[in-house]
Each structure stands twice: as C-alpha cells, then as structure tokens.
Structure 1
Amino acid sequence: MGRPALPMLTVSVLAASALAAGAAAAVPVSAREAGRTEVPVASGSPVTEVSESVVRVKVPLPAAAGPRPEACDWLSYLRFRHVDGPAESADADRILVAQPGILEGAGAFDSVARNTVAAAARSGRHIEFWALDRRSNCLEDRTGVQAGLAAGDVHLAVDYYYRQKEIDGRKFAGYQTNDQVKWLQHVGLEQTVRDQYDLMARELPDQRARKEKMLCGGHSLGGVLTAYFAEWDFDGDHATTADAGHNQCSGYFALDTRIAKGLPGMGGQVPAEWVPLVEFGAGAVKAGLEAGVVPRALSAPAVVNTETMNLLAIAGLAANLDPGGESDLSTYIPSGFNQDMTYRLLFSKDYPTFLKGSPTVQDFRFSNAAALGGLLDDHSQPLAFMQASVGFWDGGKIVDKEFPAPNNLEEIGLGGLTRLLGTEKKAIPDEPGGPLFTWRNYDRVGAPDDPVHRSKDGTPFTAAGKEVTDIAELARSLSEHPLDFTEHYFPTKLITDIALASSPGIADDAVHEGGITANPTLNLQAGDGLGFGDPQPGDVIAAGYQHIDVLTASAVQDDGRPEPISTNLAAFATR
C-alpha cells in the first residue's frame, strides 16, 4: 500500500541533506584528488540497507564548446552501495555503470539500483550501482523542489519557479532559451561516450580493475550509447585496444533496450519529424544547430519540454508529501500555454472534449497521488516511453479515454501504434465537479475492495499482474534526489549524431567492431515495453512491465515474489 504523508521532521532531514549535496561548498566525504566531491544523500526509501551519495568530478569541456556555466564542467552520478560494503569503489566486488534513457536523469535509477545492490548483498557480494547524469543536466535548478521537500510545502516549490520567490537568496533564472544553451550544439555522441570513459577512468584509474569490476549498460537510449561506447577508441590510436570501450567493462546490461546502435522500439531509426533536417545530412544539421534554427535541446510545445519535465518533479513532490491530499497544482500553478495544453492533451476523454476544451482538468478533484498517476500511469500517459504501471484510478466513475487514439487499435488495423502509445487501454475519470478521485496503488489492484473498473467492451482495464510500481516510491524518486529523475535539456545533437553516425566526423572513433560481442550481455526486457514485439532467446522478460517499470518496480511484487529485473541483474553482476 502507499505510505502516509511523511512526518515533517523526516521531510526536513531528508531534504536538508539533498540540498547540501547540491551546494558548491559541500564538504566532500572523499577527496582522493582535487576536483572531486562526494556528499551523502538521505533517503526515505524502504530499502534502508543501501546508502546513496552524489559524486561530482571536474572534467571540463573542450574550450571549443564555448561559454557555459561553471557547473557544466563537472560530471555527476549517484553512487549506490550497501551500508556494510567497502567505502572505496575499488574494493567493491562489481560496479554497474548505467546510462539513462532519453529525457532521463540519474534519479530514475533509484529503485532498480537499491534493489540490485540489496539483492547482491543477500548472496554475500557487495556491488555498487553508478547512475550517470549526462552533462546537460548541469542546467537544471533543483532549488525549489528540494526546498519544498525540506519545508514539507509543495507551494514553496511552485512559488520559486513561477512567482520569483527567493530561496536562500537565490531566484529562479527561468528556463534556458535556445540562445542560452548554444554550447549544447557541441554535446553529441562523441562527447557523451567520452564523458563516460573519463568519469570511469578518473574514479577507477587502473584499466585492469575497470575491465574486471565494471559492467556497462543502461535504459532505453542508454543501450544505444553503451553500444557505441563498446566500439569507441579513446586514445586516438586505433591500433591499441586497452583504451577501447569494451575493455573498460566485463559485461553489458540492457534495461528494456538492446546493446545495439539503433533506437529501441523505433526500428533502429530516428523519426525524421523529430529533427527534419536529418534527411538533408550532417552538414545541414550542423548548420541548423549553429544558426539556432534547429533547437539545441529536444523540445516540443507541450508534454515534452523543459518546463514539463520540472512539473513532473513538482507533481512527484506533492504526491510524496501528501499522497491522499487533494491536489491544487492545476490551479495554483499559473496558467500558461505549455501546462494548459499538456493538461488538455493528457486529460481529454475524447476528441470532442479536446476540441471544445471542456471539461478541463480543473473541473475534477484529484488526490496528489491520482494527479501523478494521471501523468505517468500506462492507463493515462499516451507515450509508451514515459509509462509506468503504478495502479489505477479510484473513487468514482471511470470510462475509456479515447484521445489521442481509441482503445481498439488492433480491431481497426492500427495495432502498430502500440509501440508509440503502449499496450494498455487508457482510462479517465468522468465526473466533473464530482467526488475526489484517488489512486489505487499497485498492490491494492485486485484486492477485495477493488471495484474492478471495466472498459466499454466489458473487460477490466487492469489486473494485479499488470501493476508493479509503488506510486509512493515513484513520487519519492521524482522529488528526493539532488540529480533529477528527468532530463530537462536533452541535447538534440546526441540524437542527430546517432541518426547520422555513418557520416564523416561523427563516429569516426567507433572502430572496434567486435566491441559489442566482446563481453556477455544480459537483456532485461519489459513484457509490455518498447521491445515487447521482438523477444530474443535468453531475454529476461518481466511480465506486465512497461518501459519505466524496469527502473521503478517495487522490490517485492504484489504476489510476494522478488522483483525480477533487479534479482537477475544482481545475479549477473555476481556471477
């Protein structure tokens, strides 16, 4: 079941630690060399035997990248280890190094990292899990969310981001414009894999130790980046191999992805509509980025952009602090095109509702947990790569949500759209001005008091075996960490480089063609995720999981069995 609201003292202690983690003057736990800090992160996770710290290592960008904030010359990651394990990473039995997916940050690995480290410890092995934060995340401002957590007041976070309220003398500078992130046009595939190599080499200088102890992998796009990393030559001498990416790892792990040089769930290709200039070649894209015609950070007018990613953290904060309390975010957050259109896209029952713009989300009453569920649950969120299985609506009349697509895609010959929209039927509350809609957590679906809401075809919208993530833990992961769950400024160049990798000057150092097969790979797939239509021999398939669930699923499932992704990942790491 979902946990109750956090006691104020607990909230304050947790967030005060998280705020300290982001402070420039933080006292490092370890200072093995200049330009490195490590600060503990207090957590409300039920997996108490795993400790977390945020590590920052100074690895400046090349001067050619141009002006950028000083924070962007540092690389960061969340380090998870067992409380009884060694203090130094070099003494750990294994280290899992994880690349996030698209629009994803280090905080997204919270649950799978803790569960994996704990599972390994039960077999007598002490491993670490390093959740990488890509360099572009240096642009994010977590001040409001962390202060709201410390004060137990989500309004404090909203006031910081929307009403220019100062916190400790700091004022939100606004979301960065395309002109302000010009340096991102230099942060593509080469810089991203180089950042991972430099971080690994700085943290574990002995190449032989890296080869023995480290396993490389990631979620979603992280599998693609791991594939390029495996083939990359990092010393500029293609005849030597000690520096090759595959010789920094003893194995690979893929979380609802493949260790392959193509985007998962998209036939390996970058959709041309994401960056239209891709079809005109690398030169056109480069010119477009330099001129600012091509956005330097991937963004859409609504649903997927920097502000919306931050809104997810705010919604997570509200659900973390007071899951059963009535949400007022849709009215307390000042109206604007992005949030109004996002609400309209996510909470319209059908096309007439969307076109008319009524009823609006403000016409309904939601608990904070239900508001978060409406944003990310696989029965509400329309984009498959953003879906998790966290339970279901409760508290009133629920009907089919047939916008932006009907629930009978297979029947009308549009089954292929499930790769984009997900496998589950969408549902939505249908009583504006009515009761307080609440959220039935993953482990309460199928309970004796479950009303079993049904689609118009008479079948239940969901069942116990389809729900795997605790919404309370998802809320905590979204709001607790100094490194965010989401990625607000995803570099467009990273996607265009992957699409145009065969063009000269983009992946010229990806020369070790046997790198992907040089090490064993564990494929951990979501049963209903992006790769659900293409299972391969040897895959570990987690039934009922969506794309995000491989990161967020509860350590103990509602049938009492251990969580399969982390259990198998721990076994692979300690083999």
Structure 2
Amino acid sequence: MKRSRWAVASAAAVVVVGGVLVPAAMGKTSADGDRVETPVVSSSPVPGVVESVVKVRVPLPAEVGPHPEACDWVSYLRWRSAAGPADSAAADRVLIAQPGIFEGAGAFDSLARNTITQAAGQGAHVEFWALDRRSNCLEDNTGRMAGLAARDVHVAVDYYYRDRQVDGKTFAGFQTNDQVGWLGHVGMAQTLRDQYDLMRHELPDPAVRKQKLFCGGHSLGGIITGYFATWDFDGDPATTDDAGFNQCAGWFALDSQVRPGLPGGGMTSLIPSGDPATSPILALPALINPETMSMLGLAGLAAVNDPTGKSDLLKYLPQSDNIKTTLKILFAKDLVNLLTGIPVVDNFAFTNQTAMAALMDNNSMPLGFLQAGVGFFDGGRIADKEFPIAGEVADLPFLADLKGLLGPDRKAIPTDAGFPLGTGPTYTWRNYDQIDAPGAPVHKSRDGKPFTTAAQEVTDVQQLARSLGEAPLDFTEWYFPAKLSGDSGKPDAEMTAHSLHPGGINARPILTVRAGSGVNFGAMDPSQPPAVVAPGYHHLDVLTAAARQNGGRQEVVSVNLAQFVLGN
C-alpha cells in the first residue's frame, strides 16, 4: 500500500511553496516528545505559505475517565509565511481560531492562506493557527489520505467500509455514543482549558501573547471566544495573569460575535444541546452523524483526484439506511420524491466536482451552516427544490427561525434523469467566476428570478474540494461534543465559577465580520464596533472565499483580518 502524501511529507526536510524550496516548519519540537510538528504538502495555488500539523501533549484530567491515548493530545493546523521566521514568537502577529459546530481545522485553509498573503503584501509576517477540538482525536483520516496518495477515492471507501488495510491498519468503525462516554465531560471548560494550555505551550512568554496573539473563531467559535475573554482559569478574580483577556491582543468573530452565550433568535435558537450523560456526541440517525460528516471529505477527495470525471462515489458507498436516508433528504425534489424514491440520486449523472458541490452549495444544501456560494449546476435542466420546504413558504415571516437554519437562497435540483432512468446528461459545475461568462445559461426559479448571480458566488469549487479532501485535519467534525453545545446556551456551575471578567471582551479590540447572505446569528452587541459585512458571502464563505473575487473585488475577510491584526 502506498503511503499517504501527508506521511510522505513528514519525512521531508523541505517543502515546495510557490515553486520554491523552503525549510520545513519544525518550530520547537520538544526533546521529550510532547510536541510533534509535521510539514504538509499542499496543492494550494496560493504561493508563499508553509503549512504544518502541530500536536501537543496535554493529558486530560483523571475525572474525564478512560479514553484513547491519542486524545491526550491537542492539534492544530499552522500556516505561516514562507519568507517569515520559523519561530512563532518572532512572527509579527499570530491568529488562533476556534472552529464552529461540526467544523474542523481544515475549514480555515483558504482564509489562513489569504490572510497571510494580505499581511505579506504589507511587509508583515503573520501566522494562522486553526484549532482541532479534543474530540477530533477520534477521527481516522488514514483512508482519505491513502486515497489522496493513490489518486483513487475507492481506496478510501474500501478502507472505511470493506476492511482494506492501509499500512497494516484497519478502520475500527465509526464510534457510537456508548463508546465515547468520556466526551460527556468535555464541554466549554475543557475546550477553553485546551486552548489556554496550547497557547502557553506554544508562546510561553505572556507578554508576547498579549501583544501578538489574536484570538477568535467562526460561528460557534465566536461564542467560545466570548467565554475565553471572560474566563479566569484559576477561579480567583483577584489574580488576573491567568485571565483570558490577558492572553490575547484582540478578538475576531467570523459570521458570529464575541460574546459568552448564544444570543438567541435565528439559527442559534435551533442549535441542539443534547444530553451529554446519555448522548455524548450530537448525532442524528441520518444527515448529521460521524459517517455523513466523513462522507463530505470523501466527496472532496473524489473532486480533487478527478474533478471532471463521472462520479460513482454515491453508488460505491455501501447503501446503509443512514446513507440512503441522507441522500434522499439532500437530493429529494419534493415530498413525493422523498417518499417514492423515484428518481433517486443514482439515476442522475454528475461529475465528481458537481457531486461534491451539490453537497455544500447554498442553492442545494438545505442546512445554512454547511453552505458556501461555489457556483451552480450546468449541463441539464434545473427546477426548484421544494424539500424540506418550498421557497415561497420559507419566506413567510413567522418562519424566520426556520429560514435562519436553511439559509436565505432558493434551492435548486437537477431534474433530467433521462428515460429510461439514468440515461440523462452528465451534470457539470459552473464555477463561482463563470456565472456571468458569455453564453452562460441563466437558470430561474419559478418566481422568475435567477437562482443565483455572480454577486452571490465567492468560493472556488476546486479549492473547496481541496480543503475537504486534502486537509490532514478534517474540514468537517465527525464527533461534536453535546456538552459543548449545551454549555454554549446554558452555563453550568463550573462555567459560572470561572466566567468572572465580563469586561474582558471590551478590554481588547474586536473585529466582527458577518456574511451578507449568511445565516442569522442574532443581533449584535451594541457595545461592540459595528460588523464588517461581506456582501454575497454565506456562512462558510467567510472561511472559503477565493482570493480573487468577481468584479475585481478584494476578498473581504482576509483583507480586514490582516488590517485588524497589523493595526492593533
């Protein structure tokens, strides 16, 4: 079996960045083995950026209970300027980001690279660290990395579903609630402690942290950052050296806000909490669970390996009840289609790129927090997608919270399965920057308006595929701790005992960036500076938007992040 590209990269003394050989970013690898940094070889077109995976040993407390040894480590993706210093403490600025719900470190890839490039254009060297939550230690990316090395998604599927070994390793299966009881103890307090311990390990000088380190997050990550800003890690408000607000030079929130607790309304009122005692992870029988979250990575892998090739991934995956139900929900045109199963998604022909994009695009994915504007279907007839709800109904004012979950855009679905079924055209994908190209078709909803315009499309489809399929730490999170979600909306006694500095948020500069077409994440705190609005962006676009935007626009989020951290 061929080794994965990540494993091959780990042995390299140099990596190729923008066609130039540069030293691998080994940083401060500890002699006692409590820190491991592994260079990452990336196919990103953004030059001048070095990437690595960093793992730091931070053992969980005994009261968490039995858990895998791998979960005594915390990990993050580190991006830095290839022309800058290898030592993080010598960088001009460092950004550290908490991911949102069901989100991993890999989701920050495009934003990190774009921000570093923007700063470099101003003569500065910044680093970007994207955190992986403790629960992500349970993920097994062996198959996906092997499929990337072999340029064959079937290798990955065979590892996860057909007992195919990779370097002598066999997939242990997707973990269930009865196997991960220890995660019932991993909530807000442990998540904040993990970030604090990691920051102190990587930047041990408190003065450096206070001057150079900017803390923030995307979606739920902004709420986590709000708690961090108010937190007192020793529980004694009289000693503030350990206070969260003294660890960071400023705060940033991406399609979110820096505040301790969910603001209510919109999408946030629909975030589930679960019962960590009986259900340590948030998982549904279909659509949202470890298996379906991993499926997005496989779809990205297929698109990376062969973007224009005809997709067979959805057919090659074993058709468990979970997968069949999930695909029905995602691809059903209406309730009748859902109930009859005619036609099913297998009756349509898609390129690998199209199959991946349909799972994430704002005009097809029904869940707003998993949406990005990556373009639109091409190559066949398109109709309104009326499941789970017709667009006209979702527009009714009393369904505002539901629309906050679904996102603001009309949903579309291919309809040309052909007759006999399965003999229709192969649907292709029109990228974000080709919507207004000469001769491009204008697909319209039944209200007579185009499903999309160039102003609503900001993410390059192939770079999204690369972030999903190539990142060594997942874009999507398989195992989201129910306790973290519950703590975000309803603090427990431990949180009350440590959230002691309500003025900590406004003690530091704040940048909030909102997606102009994103989900509703509640009203802004009037005591904070007004949010920067990214026009046309959706919830994930604030992380995935392309460096070059339609109409010559600059990429809004990275421009403002770079200006914010360098100006403070």
TM-score (norm 2): 0.92
How far is 1:273 from its partner? 5.9
Matching residue within 464, 467, 471 for 1:481: 471
Q: How many residues align?
A: 545
Q: Is the 8 A contact 1:446 1:464 kept in 2?
A: yes
Give the Cα–Cα distance (whole angstroms) in 2 for the partners of residues 269 and 363 of structure 1: 36
> Hey, what does 2:411 align to over in structure 1?
426
Change in CA separation of 1:499 and 1:403 when aligned onto 2, cut-off 3 Å? same
> Hey, what does 1:56 align to over in structure 2?
55
The amino acid across from 2:132 in the alignment is D
**SS of 2:391's equivalent?**
coil
**SS of 2:128's equivalent?**
strand
Give the Cα–Cα distance (whole angstroms) in 2 for the partners of residues 447 and 12 of structure 1: 41
Deviations along 1:458-505, whole A, 9 cap, x unmatched? Answer: 11111111100001000000111211111111111111122221x423
How far is 1:271 from its partner? 4.2
Q: Is the 8 A contact 2:30 2:36 kept in 1?
A: no
Matching residue within 389, 394, 398 for 2:378: 394
> Hey, what does 2:561 align to over in structure 1?
569
Q: Within the alignment, does 1:93 sit opposite 2:92 as a pair? A: yes
> Hey, what does 2:436 align to over in structure 1?
446
What are the equivalent positions in structure 2 for 1:195-344 lying under 5 Å apart?
Answer: 195-263=194-262, 266=265, 271=270, 274-275=273-274, 285=275, 289-290=276-277, 294-344=278-328
Change in CA separation of 1:151 and 1:193 when aligned onto 2, cut-off 3 Å? same
Q: Is the 8 A contact 1:184 1:491 kept in 2?
A: yes
> Hey, what does 1:6 align to over in structure 2?
none
Q: Is the 8 A contact 1:265 1:531 kept in 2?
A: no
The amino acid across from 1:139 in the alignment is L
Give the Cα–Cα distance (whole angstroms) in 2 for the partners of residues 418 and 228 of structure 1: 27
How far is 1:272 from its partner? 8.2
Change in CA separation of 1:391 and 1:66 when aligned onto 2, cut-off 3 Å? same
Identity of aligned residues (%): 56
How far is 1:560 from its partner? 2.2
TM-score (norm 1): 0.91
Give the Cα–Cα distance (whole angstroms) in 2 for the partners of residues 119 and 354 of structure 1: 46
Matching residue within 535, 542, 554 for 2:534: 542
**Aligned CA-pair RMSD:** 2.1
Deviations along 1:30-72, whole A, 9 cap, x unmatched? Answer: 4245300111101000112111011110000001111111110
Deviations along 1:370-399, whole A, 9 cap, x unmatched? Answer: 101111100000011110000000000001
Q: Is the 8 A contact 1:12 1:152 kept in 2?
A: no
Deviations along 1:391-446, whole A, 9 cap, x unmatched? Answer: 00000000110110111136544551321111110000001121000110101111
> Hey, what does 1:509 align to over in structure 2?
498
What are the equivalent positions in structure 2 for 1:447-466 lying under 5 Å apart?
Answer: 447-466=437-456
Change in CA separation of 1:20 and 1:308 when aligned onto 2, cut-off 3 Å? farther
Give the Cα–Cα distance (whole angstroms) in 1 for the partners of residues 187 and 59 of structure 2: 15
> Hey, what does 1:364 align to over in structure 2?
348
How far is 1:235 from its partner? 2.5
Q: Is the 8 A contact 1:233 1:244 kept in 2?
A: yes
**SS of 2:498's equivalent?**
coil
**SS of 2:261's equivalent?**
coil
Matching residue within 529, 534, 541 for 2:518: 529
Unpaired segments ≥5 residues, structure 2: 13-23
**SS of 2:181's equivalent?**
helix
> Hey, what does 2:15 align to over in structure 1?
none
How far is 1:237 from its partner? 2.4
Give the Cα–Cα distance (whole angstroms) in 1 for the partners of residues 246 and 25 of structure 2: 34
Change in CA separation of 1:268 and 1:396 when aligned onto 2, cut-off 3 Å? closer
Deviating above 6 A after TM superposition, structure 1's stretches of 4 or more consecutive aligned residues are none
